[in-house]
Amino acid sequence: MAKVALITGVTGQDGSYLAELLLSKKYEVYGSVRNSSAVALERIAPILAKIHIVKMDLANQKSLDEVVANIRPDELYNLAAQSFLQTSSKKPIFTGEITALGAARLLDSIRRLSPQTRFYQASSSEMYGRVLKDPQRETTPFYPRNPYAVAKVYGHFITGHFRETYGLFAASGICFNHESPRRGLQFVTRKVTHAAASIKLGITNRLLVGNLKARRDWGFAGDYAQAMWKMLQADKPEDFVIATGITHTVEELLETAFAEVDLDWKKYVDIDQGCLRPREVADRLRGDASKARKKLGWRPTIGFKELVQMMVRSDLALLSRSRIAHAR
């Protein structure tokens, strides 16, 4: 029989790549959406007919219990969260309700109703915040600097608690920044690649960005979906840092993206003080994924330059199609 998987946050970047991966491995895939949300299905449109969409609210225990009891999945990937940093500062209670307590509710549903289910928790490099050691690995202390990161720390530790206390197969992937053409426009990578394409096509002529010197460890979301799956195929549940181990600045991001369309980024980019975080996380978030390489056999397949070029080309195609459609 085919394995059954449930993905929360299936309509997001990571959820879409993970759903495609699981389908390629002959899983029966369920994806959850919130009852009250306006569901955006663009990312999973090509596979929508191949998966089951279920309504589930991470703030409602009864809702989770019903879905878990009905599906009893072999694997449950918790990718849903309130992940926008600016929103988390404005709505810390809501962020905690979904990102922190949502994970606890899912684990409790599994404990009571489907203890054989293997659980993946999407942890985040944001948990390291004000970095205490470089590079960051599984044993590096957390120092979260915003409500989203604080909520992720709770989700991370509650996953370990259910693993150690109840014997659940529950593992967390501490994922560093991972991007793709499916990244939302509110994230700096997609903001930059979309702007480069827009400026090249004459649609816009300026881009506002924040801290040019901020460094991030950027990888490809499709690679990170592979790591998530590998974690739940292991002999025992463990937490893993998933990262490239190589950092790049926002300035390098701009240079690479605009070079792909033969433009000098300095002619089009302005610094926006409103884009600067009041409590910026560490200047150097860099992950050490040696444990994942050794125990999971995982390593990234797409480098920074290739990733940015892929995103720019995708945005050029997207915007070109949009212009043609509007011209008709």
Please tell me the distance from the alpha carbon of residue 140 to that of residue 123, in angstroms, as a whole number: 14
User: Is 126 among the catalytic positions?
Assistant: yes
Q: Which of 17, 120, 148, 224 is catalytic?
A: 148
Please tell me the distance from the alpha carbon of residue 274 to that of residue 324, in angstroms, as a whole number: 34
Please tell me the distance from the alpha carbon of residue 311 to that of residue 241, in angstroms, as a whole number: 24
Alpha-carbon torsion 18, 20, 25, 26, what sign? Answer: positive
Please say whether the beta carbons of 304 and 220 come within 8 A.
Answer: no
List the end-to-end C-alpha distance of the chain, in Å, as a whole number.
Answer: 48
Q: Which of 20, 28, 75, 126 is catalytic?
A: 126
Q: Strand, coil or helix: what is 220?
A: strand
Please tell me the distance from the alpha carbon of residue 54 to that of residue 305, in angstroms, as a whole number: 37
CB proximity list for 151: less than 8 A, separation 6 or greater: 81, 82, 88, 95, 96, 98, 99, 100
Q: Which of 124, 125, 180, 314 is catalytic?
A: 124
HSE value, Cβ hemisphere, 13 Å, CA-based, for 210 = 16
What is the phi/psi pair of residue 214, to 5°?
A: -60, 135
Q: Strand, coil or helix: what is 268?
A: coil
- The DSSP code sequence of 5-40 is EEEETTTSHHHHHHHHHHHHTT-EEEEEE-TTS---
Please say whether the beta carbons of 178 and 221 come within 8 A.
Answer: yes
Alpha-carbon torsion 247, 249, 254, 256, what sign? Answer: negative
Please tell me the distance from the alpha carbon of residue 128 to that of residue 145, in angstroms, as a whole number: 8
Task: Cite the active site residues.
Answer: 124, 126, 148
